Amino acid sequence: MQRLRSRQQFQAVMAGAPVAKTPHFALHRAALSSAHEGRALFPVADAWLGVLLPKRWARRAVTRNAIRRQIYEAARQRTDTLPHAALVVRLRSEFSRQQFVSATSEPLKRAVRAELEQLLARVLVPAEARHGV
């Protein structure tokens, strides 16, 4: 799994509508064939992942970092079943500060992980189809 790094990569993926949504996250997807100034934006045929966590929805850096780690770990565990495409997971609403008082609480981590499971399940490719079995 590769990580999105450049602004052009993020813009190419975010140009389309979300392919999946949960109450707090949206998943955007783009084909790897995008190019910028004659160069391929995604030079390796692999799953590419980017994370977009606006301060508007997660004010504290510790919260954004905890959510970011959860996203990358959830995707890493599914590397074999992620499609060869560019994906961006975007936080689209705030987790209630009344319900999740601590930015790194176990209940928050469980809630984030549960939503990520739902989100990624919508774009997974069966292992047999991916490896041509």
Q: What are phi and psi of 69, to 5 degrees?
A: -60, -40
The whole model's pTM is what?
Answer: 0.85
Q: How many CB atoms lie within 10 A of CB 75?
A: 19
pLDDT of residue 124: 77
Q: How many domains does the chain have?
A: 1
Q: With a cut of 70, which residues of the chain have pLDDT below it?
A: 35-38, 125-133
Q: What is the mean pLDDT of the chain?
A: 87
Locus of tokens 């060869």: 84
pLDDT of residue 21: 93
Cα distance between residue 129 and residue 76, in whole Å: 19
Tell me the per-residue pLDDT of 42-70, one tens digit each, with 9 for 90 and over. Answer: 888 899 999 999 999 988 899 999 999 99
pLDDT of residue 130: 47
Tokens, residue 51: 């994370």
Residue 115: CATH number of its domain: 3.30.230.10
Domain enclosing residue 22, as ranges: 2-131
Return the closest-CA partner of residue 47 out of 104, 88, 97, 99. 88
